[in-house]
Amino acid sequence: MKMHFYRRSLLLTLLLLLAVPTLGHAGDEELFQLTRSILNDQADPGEWPLAARRSQCLESLAALNNEKQSGELLELWSKEKQRGAEGRLSTCWKQGLYWAGLNYAPDSGLTLDRKLASLAGHTEVPPEKLITQLLAQEKQPISKLDQSMVKLLRFAARYDRALKSENSKAELHKLVPDVNELAPQALQLLEKRYPSSGYYHFSYHPVKAEVAQCAFAMLTIVPVEQHSPELKTLSRQLELLFGLGCVHRGWYAAFDTGIALLAKKDKNEGLALLVWKSDFLEYPEVSAPDSVLLSPDIRKTSPKLAHIVSGVNSCLSQLRKQTYKKNPEVFTRLLQEPDSELWRFQVLLSLETARLRADHNLLQLTARSLLEQSERLYSTSREEYENSPNDLCYLYFSAFYAAQRLNDRKLQDDLLSRLLKLYPQMGDYYTDVLYDQQSKNLDWFYLFSDRALAPVWRQKFEAVLLKDSGPQGFSKSEFGMLWATFGTTEIDGKAILTMYKEDYNLMGIAWGAGYAVGRGRAALPVCATWQQLSQIDPRFNTVTCFVEFCGGYAKGKEKESENWDARFLQVLGPK
């Protein structure tokens, strides 16, 4: 049964919220208020229980980093109904909502081991002060295994702090005694399957992830010849893929160590190479010239991995030194690299450098190489599984934004035309290298909703979307974005918001509308946008669509491209 809100009370809530203009954090707070109003309704939401929808909404809105409002959202769960409390507490720590988490923890009904487990595996390492404050809430004696977990979390906090200090080498050296004490205790956490209940999942376990990440860090602190038997045993028992998440913390030396271990374990070196490429595209700092992945040992046992890492480093060195200005012929040869995977990296890095430096000559050199060699990635004369249209689209996106910054209209138009032809070919391809990690930055809507473009490009984009809007098409969220931004309800006589019968298609439209608001492209503030969408068709006025709307809004507020720009500019700086 589909759940519809009590219209009168909901409309009254919306009118009160919409009485004040919504800008920035004010809009966020009003969305939180609306969320509490909607998710406090006890009616049956349909396919998913209300508790599941609340958790989904909390996870999305917690990313807005509003301590007070997130804390009030947590009050929706009564003390008697705390199923899934680990996930809620973990969401607080993940988003840095420490005050909200500390307030929620005493009423969560969780044992200490599960509270400590909720602190594990996050990108932002919880500070020691938080661990101390959480322990201060406990009234029962702390078991030895819990103490071991506390020491592991404290080590992570100290290692993270040492890396960020001005004299990191000296600070890291101070942690050597901690390593010798911690290694056997970390082994016990693995052997005892800590915590004793909860937190078990088929594909991920936060405590195992924390142990593995910290173990990689330990292996970088202590010289190989000084590794204790316990540390060696620990390194053999780790689930290596869990530990490679340390790259998100900025633990790059530890990440290198983990990749080297994975490459030795994986004789085909394919998995290690895949992980390195994927993480480099988000964290280019991993391409250090003193990387252990360039050691003679790795060159011998994992030649493909060493070749890619070396080639990327070589390209970055030339971009850093700007040798292409003196010897464009040499750089042109670099952009004709026979290895297809390496060539894609070199083209991408060159295009991004041209954009960030506003270097017209570099853009011309690289764009010419890309357009002349585009059939390396997509050609109708090849079998579908041999093509990489997603990667080609990503390179076109990068080239377009560089051309846009440099006001090269001719190149922009050429790239837009090529992108529209490729849109229907987007999908799952085994030969993609860039796309797996960078697909989140392939924002078609944001590109074609740019009011700086000639209107004809949006019209062409709408036509392509409509053609691709069948049951298996990918256009539903874009329809929601177009409506929220331009008020578009029809394309070529088709009612794009109401022509679907399936709930999941309506959810996609709702997500897209929220995303447009979060991205700053929508015509109305967040609550006003939801009010209008919910009145277009009663089927939008559901808990499920509202939760998707919130998820899209939170996703749109993320600034992933800015993170990449800052990181890559740092890599391009003098070494």
Out of 16-30, 425-439, 452-466, pick the least confident: 16-30
Q: Indicate the pLDDT class of residue 51, thresholds 50, 70 and 90.
A: confident
Q: Which of 201, 277, 209, 200 is nearest to 243 (CA)?
A: 209
Q: What is the mean pLDDT of the chain?
A: 87
Summarize the confidence of residues 498-521 as an average pLDDT: 92
More confident residue, 377 or 39: 377
Sign of the alpha-carbon dihedral angle for 409, 410, 414, 417: positive
Q: 71-86, pLDDT tens digit by residue?
A: 888 887 766 466 778 8
What's residue 201's pLDDT?
54
Distances (CA, A) of 78 to 9, 81, 175, 345, 462: 23, 5, 43, 51, 46
Per-residue burial over 402-441, b = 16 or more CB atoms within 10 Å of its CB, e = otherwise: bbbbbebeebbebbbebbbebbeebeebeebbbbebbeeb
Half-sphere exposure of 403 (CA within 13 A, CB side): 22
> Pick from 396, 464, 384, 460: which is nearest to 427 by CA?
384
**Other residues' Cβ atoms within 10 Å of the Cβ of residue 560:** 13
Tens digits of per-residue pLDDT, 527-555?
999 999 999 999 999 888 999 999 999 99
pLDDT higher for 561 or 189?
189
Report pLDDT for 438: 47
Strand partners, 491: 494
- Model confidence at 471: pLDDT above 70: no
Average pLDDT over residues 337-352: 96
For 294, residues 6+ apart whose C-beta sits below 8 A from its C-beta are: 306, 309, 310, 313
CB 258 within 8 Å of CB 240 = yes
Pairing of strands 490-491, 494-495: antiparallel
What mean pLDDT do residues 570-574 have? 89
Cβ atoms of 477 and 515 closer than 8 Å? yes
CA distance 483 to 545: 15
Rounded Cα distance between 487 and 482, Å, is: 7
- Residue 34, CA distances (Å) to 48, 356, 547 in order: 20, 40, 11
| Distance separating alpha carbons of residues 505 and 498, to the nearest angstrom | 10
CA 314, CA 380: separation in Å to the nearest integer?
33
Could you identify the residue written with the tokens 């570099």? 362
- Average pLDDT in the 351-364 region? 97
Q: Write down the pLDDT at residue 433.
A: 83
575 vs 565: CA distance, rounded Å: 18
pLDDT surpassing 90 at residue 55: no
pLDDT at 437 over 60: no
The span from the CA of 261 to the CA of 272, in Å, is: 9
| Alpha carbon distance, N-terminus to C-terminus of the chain | 62
Long-range (24+ apart) CB contacts under 8 A made by 554-558 are: 554/60, 554/61, 554/63, 554/64, 554/514, 554/518, 555/60, 555/514, 555/515, 555/518, 556/514, 556/515, 556/516, 556/517, 556/518, 556/519, 556/520, 557/63, 557/64, 557/518, 557/519, 558/63, 558/518
Contact between residue 452 and residue 466 where contact means Cβ atoms under 8 Å apart: no
Reading phi first (left if > 0) and then psi (alpha if -120 to 50, else beta), residue 96 is in: left
What's the whole-number mean pLDDT along residues 243-269? Answer: 91
- Cβ within 8 Å of residue 17, ≥6 positions away: 30, 33, 34, 527
Locate 243 and state its tokens. Answer: 């530990």
In this structure, of 19-28, 280-289, 419-428, the range with the lowest mean pLDDT score is 19-28
> In whole angstroms, what is the distance from residue 401 CA to residue 408 CA?
10
| pLDDT band of 307, cuts 50, 70, 90 | very high
Tell me the mean pLDDT in the region 109-134: 95
For position 45, what pLDDT does the model report?
52
pLDDT digits (tens, 9 = 90+) for 215-234: 999 999 998 889 999 999 99
90 pLDDT higher than 60? yes
Q: Which of 291, 303, 186, 289 is nearest to 236 (CA)?
A: 186
Instruction: Round to whole Å and give the CA distance between 353 and 433.
Output: 19
**Cα–Cα distance, 475 to 467 (Å, whole number):** 9
**Positive/negative CA dihedral, 540, 541, 544, 549:** positive
- CA separation (Å) from 309 to 61, 269, 314, 341? 38, 13, 9, 11
Sign, Cα dihedral of 515, 521, 525, 529 = negative
Residue 2 pLDDT class (50, 70, 90 cuts) = very low
- In terms of C-beta density within 10 A (0-12 exposed, 13-18 middle, 19 or more buried), how is residue 184 classed? middle
Check pLDDT > 80 for residue 209: yes
Per-residue pLDDT band for 268 (boundaries 50, 70, 90) equals low
**What pLDDT is stored for residue 12 in this prediction?**
32
Q: Could you give the CA distance from residue 373 to residue 429 in angstroms, rounded to a whole number? A: 19
Name the least confident of 196-210, 406-420, 482-496.
196-210
492-500 long-range contacts (CB < 8 A, ≥24 apart) are 492/463, 492/466, 494/466, 496/466, 496/469, 497/536, 497/537, 498/536, 498/537, 500/476
CA–CA separation, 315 and 347 (whole Å): 9
